[in-house]
Structure 1
C-alpha cells in the first residue's frame, strides 16, 4: 500500500530527523518560558510585600497580549525566512524579561507591566509561530506529518508542566528573580536552535504580495467550514479543560484529602497529556482531522462528565490521566487540521490565530470556574461540559449538512 503524501508542504521528501531534534529543543525551551512565566511573575510580586497586590495584574500583562498575536503574525508569511522572525522574538522576549526583573521595585510597577506586556506580545510567536515550521521538517508523508505533531504536543506538555515546576524549585532554592533569569536564558537558547532547523520553502515575491491581512485571514477562518470547526472546537475544548485544575483543588474537601494531595489530579492530567503525545509519535493519527477533532471532543466531554460523577480519589486520578491523553489526541488533530486545511499563503497566521483564541478561551474558562467554585465544585465541570457539548452539536450538524449536500450534488451529476 502506497504511503499517502501531502503536496506543497516541503522540499524534503522524508522526515528530517536532525531537524526534528533541533526543533524539539527550540520549541521546548521557548515553551518552558511561556509556561513558567506567569508563576514566576506572581512569585516575584509575592516576595515583595509592597507589590503583592499587583501579582494578578502583572501576570495578566504576560498573557493578555497573546490576543494581539494575530495582528503581528502576518510577518511569518511575508518574511523571506521566518526563522529569523521567531528568533528575533525570542531575543526581544529575553531582553524585556531581564529588564523587567532587573528594574522590579526600582521603577513604577506600571513600567514593569509595560515591559512584561512587550514580552507577552512575543508569546504567540514562541508558541504557535514555531509550529509553522513543522511541514519543512516532516516532508511529504502524511504519517510523518502526524508523527511530528505528536512531538509538538509533547513540547507544549513539557512547557506547561516542567516550566512551572522549574520556576517553583528555583524560587524556593534561590529567588523568583533567579527563576525569571533562567526562563530568559532558555528563550535565548531557543533562538539559537530555531536558526538551525530546516529552512522553510521560500515563497515567490508574487505570493508574498498576495498574503492576506489579519482581517482577511480571520474571515477565511470563519468562511472555510473545516477551519471554522477547527477554531471553535479548539476554543470549546480549551474552555472545558481549563476548569480541571480549579476543580482538582476544590474537590479536596469532598474527597477528604489535603489541597496539596488533590493537586495531584492536575499532575495526573499533565502526565496523561505527555503519555498521549508519546502515543502520537509511535502511532500517528489516521483519518481526516475534521472527523478526528469532533471524535476526540466527544471523548473529552465523556471524560469530564465521568469526573463530575465520581468522588473516589483513585478513580479520579485515572480519569484525569485519561482525559489528559484524550486532550493530547485532540491537540494533535487540531495541528493536523491547521497544517492541512490552511492555504500556504497564510498558514502562519492561521496557526497563531487559533493558538491565540485557545489561550484566551483557557483564561476565560479558568476565570469562570474560579467564580463558580464558590458555589459548588460540580458547577465548573457542568459549565465546561455544556459549552463543549453545544459546539460539538454545531460541528456534527455542519458535517451532516455538508455530507447531505455533497450526496445531492453527486446524484445530480450522475448520468441517467
Structure 2
C-alpha cells in the first residue's frame, strides 16, 4: 500500500493529465461494470469506484478499505426482524425500535442486512419508500413527517417519482461510526442511487450530523435542517439529494472531477443555471407541445424547457441537447406509426409538425379527413407522445 500510494502521488505530481486520464478510464470501466453487473461482481465494482476517492483527506477517514470483505450483504429474512429491532432499541431507543418493527414489516424488500460469516446480522440499512406511504403513516414517524413537510414545500414529487428515506442504517457494534459495516452501507447507498427507477430524492438521518458533514458535502448531499427530528430524546440531522436536479450521471461526473482535483472542495456542484429543471406534469406537457410546434424550424427548440429536463440531459450526454430533443421527439412520434391503430394519429402529427402543411386546414386536406377528425387525431397523437415522454422523464 505504501509503495502504491507513493507511485500514485508521484504520477499525480509529475503528470497530472495522465493521472486524470487513468482515473477517467478506471471510472468509466467501473460504472460500466456497475450498470451491467449483479451481486458480488456489482458490489466489487462499486467498491472499486469509491476506492478511486481514497486520496481525498475527507473520504479516506470514513472508509474501512481493507476490512469490509468480512461482512456480506443480503436480503432480510423473517427471522432477522427480532435481532434488528433489538439492535435499534439498544442503539437508538424504544420509540425508534417500535418504528423499526413497523417499517421492517411494511417494506421488508427495502432492507439490506450485512452478515458475519456465521450469518448473524452485523448491521443493516433500510431504503424506505416514502412515496408508497399514506399521509397517516408519514405522520406517525417524526422523521418521515418532517421530511414530508419539507418536500411538500421545496421539492414536491411528480406522479411516478420516488423518495427513498434511509430510515435506519447502523452497525451492530458501532452504530453510525466508521466501521467495515458502515463502509458497506455507504457502498449500498451508492448502488441505490444508481439502480432505483424513478428516484427523485434521497434522505439520510444522522445521529452525529457534524461528523458526517464534510464527506456528505464532498458527495453533494446537502444538509437539510428543515428535515431534522428528535426521537427518544435524541436529535438527528438529515442530509439529502434531489436526483432530478443533479441526476446520477451528472453526480458521477461531479465526483469524478473532485476525485482528481488538487483541491477537491474547489470543484463546485452545477450552478443553478446549469442544474436540471423539475417540471410538473402540466409544465412538461406544455413544453412538449411547444417543442412539437418548433420542430420544423432550425432554432425552434433553442429555449425549450425540455433542454434542461432529466430526459434530454441524460440522452444528450456531452452532445447537443437541441439535437437530442429533436431526435427524441421524432423517435417517439415514430412509435405511433408502428401501430396500425395509431397510424392516423402519427399522420396528423407528421403533417402538422414534422413535415408541416402550410395550414392545419391544408393538413386535413392532405390526410383526406374532415377538419374535426384531423383535430381529434392531432390531439390524440400529441397526448400519446407526451405520455410516453413523461413516463420516461419520471421513470429515470
* TM-score by shorter chain over 0.5: no
* Bigger share in strand: 2
After TM superposition, the score normalised by the length of structure 1 is 0.27
* Bigger share in helix: 1
| Structure of greater relative contact order (alpha carbons < 8 Å, 6+ residues apart) | 1
After TM superposition, the score normalised by the length of structure 2 is 0.28
